[in-house]
Amino acid sequence: MKKIIGVIIMCAMTAVGMSAQSWTDELKKTDPEFAEFFANFANNEVPNEEGVTLDEKTRHIAILAALLGRGAVDLYQPMLAAAIDAGVSPIEAREVLYQAVAYCGFGRIYPFFKATADVFKKKKIKLPLAPQGTTTAADRVEKGEAKQVEIFGDGMKGFSERGIINRWLSGNCFGDYYTRNGLDNRQREMITFCYIAADGTNEAQLRAHIGGNNLVGNDKAFLTAVTSQIMPYIGYPRTLNILTAINETLE
């Protein structure tokens, strides 16, 4: 029976490109029944559900961002390994990690730096990775606000001059992170959506970035697919709230 369960789980994992070193490894030993049905759901049924599919790379990036938003460092490690196996580059994975600090706070994200380094070392990825920054201390606020205007429109002009936090948002959140190479605007808005969606405590910001996603080309159908693909990792109540926010924001 144990051999049969192991074969079923590995088949489900193989169907979506999961790494052999996955989150199921320990669960197969202690909770084989759960490992079987959850692996089939999360690794087979959800990724292949007609109407809410994503390409494998995008799906894995979204899941990583959701796990960062949840603070789920133990599950993040095997999923990062799986993401790299699925074609997510080390640079892309690192950018997902870095940007999470702006939206989740360093207090939550700090353990993920070691977790990421450990996975990279096991994958024989040489550290540190090449720098991707494009701003300097002198121009980060200016370029950050320009990125805000690029994404959200002309209404963001002068944003950095409206207070201390606004200046920090322009210089740090957008100047230090969004202007970096490695991910484009659509990817960065998607992962921001995932951080906030998974966190579950910032409804106003969630709706703001649903709008931001729509402005850069991540439409209602895409955000619905992203939400569906991260659902196994954030739960049904949060997922239903996110879908309501998407529908109401993009009516």
Q: Are 17 and 79 in contact (CB under 8 A)?
A: no
Residues 105 and 223 in one domain: yes
Residues 33 and 86 in one domain: no
Domain count, the chain: 3
Residues 72 and 39 in one domain: no
As given in the structure block, the two tokens for residue 18 are 């999961």
HEC string of 86-116 equals CCCCHHHHHHHHHHHHHHHCHHHHHHHHHHH
Residue 23 has a pLDDT of 77
Q: Are 122 and 92 in contact (CB under 8 A)?
A: no
- Assess whether pLDDT exceeds 90 at residue 122: yes
Residues 79 and 12 in one domain: no
Residues 125 and 4 in one domain: no
Residues 125 and 99 in one domain: yes
The predicted-structure confidence for 221-244, as pLDDT tens digits, reads as follows 999 999 999 999 999 999 999 999
Q: Give the number of C-alpha atoms closer than 13 A to the C-alpha of residue 243, restricted to the C-beta side.
A: 17
Residues 144 and 127 in one domain: no
Mean pLDDT of the chain: 92
Question: b vs e for 25-58, b when ≥16 Cβ sit within 10 Å of the residue's Cβ?
Answer: eebbeeebeebbebbbebbbebbeeeebebebbb
The predicted-structure confidence for 9-28, as pLDDT tens digits, reads as follows 444 444 333 443 477 888 99
Residues 78 and 108 in one domain: yes
Give me the domain span that covers residue 37: 1-45
Last residue of a domain, one of 121, 156, 177: 177
HEC string of 128-168 equals CCCCCCCCCCCCHHHHHHHHHHHHHCHHHCCHHHCCHHHHH
Residue 167 has a pLDDT of 98
**Residue 207: what residue type?**
R
- Burial grade of 250 (CB within 10 A; 0-12, 13-18, 19 or more): middle
Last residue of a domain, one of 177, 201, 230: 177
Residues 153 and 123 in one domain: no
Residues 112 and 185 in one domain: yes
The predicted-structure confidence for 56-94, as pLDDT tens digits, reads as follows 999 999 999 999 999 999 999 999 999 999 999 999 999
As given in the structure block, the two tokens for residue 79 are 């999923």
- Burial grade of 128 (CB within 10 A; 0-12, 13-18, 19 or more): exposed
Q: Percentage of residues in the chain with pLDDT exceeding 90?
A: 87
Residues 10 and 40 in one domain: yes
| CA–CA separation, 3 and 45 (whole Å) | 22
Q: What is the CATH number of the domain that holds 114?
A: 1.20.1290.10
| CA–CA separation, 247 and 251 (whole Å) | 6
**Residue 232: what residue type?**
P
* DSSP states along 202-244: -HHHHHHHHHHHHHHT--HHHHHHHHHHHHHHH-HHHHHHHHH
Q: Are 90 and 125 in contact (CB under 8 A)?
A: yes
As given in the structure block, the two tokens for residue 188 are 């960065």
Residues 60 and 29 in one domain: no
pTM of the model: 0.91
C-alpha pair distances (Å), 226 with each of 89, 111, 213 = 19, 25, 12
